[in-house]
Amino acid sequence: MNTIAQWFPTGWEPFLYGGIMIGLGVSVLFWLTGLIGGISTAYSAVWSLVSRHPFFQHEKFVSTRNWRLMYGLGLIVGAVVFTYTLGHGEGFVTKVPLWQLFVGGIVGGFGARMGGGCTSGHGICGVGSGQLPSILAVLIFLSTAIITAHVVRAMGGF
Identity of residue 123: G
Residue 158, pLDDT score: 65
User: pTM of this prediction?
Assistant: 0.65
In a domain, 50, yes or no: no
* pLDDT score for 127: 86
For position 35, what pLDDT does the model report? 77
d(CA 152, CA 78): 32
For 2, residues 6+ apart whose C-beta sits below 8 A from its C-beta are none
Tell me if 136 is assigned to some domain.
yes
Whether 125 is in a domain gets the answer yes
Give φ, ψ of 65 to 5 degrees: -65, -35
What's the total number of domains in the chain? 1
Render each residue's pLDDT in the chain as its tens digit; 158 residues.
567 777 777 788 888 888 898 888 888 888 888 877 778 778 788 888 888 999 889 888 888 888 888 888 888 898 888 888 877 766 677 888 899 989 988 888 788 877 778 887 888 888 888 889 989 989 998 899 899 989 988 998 76
Whether residue 82 lies inside any domain: the answer is: no
Which has the closest alpha carbon to 37: 128, 111, 102, 132? 128
Range of the domain at 102: 94-157
Burial of 122 from C-beta contacts in 10 A (0-12 / 13-18 / 19+): buried
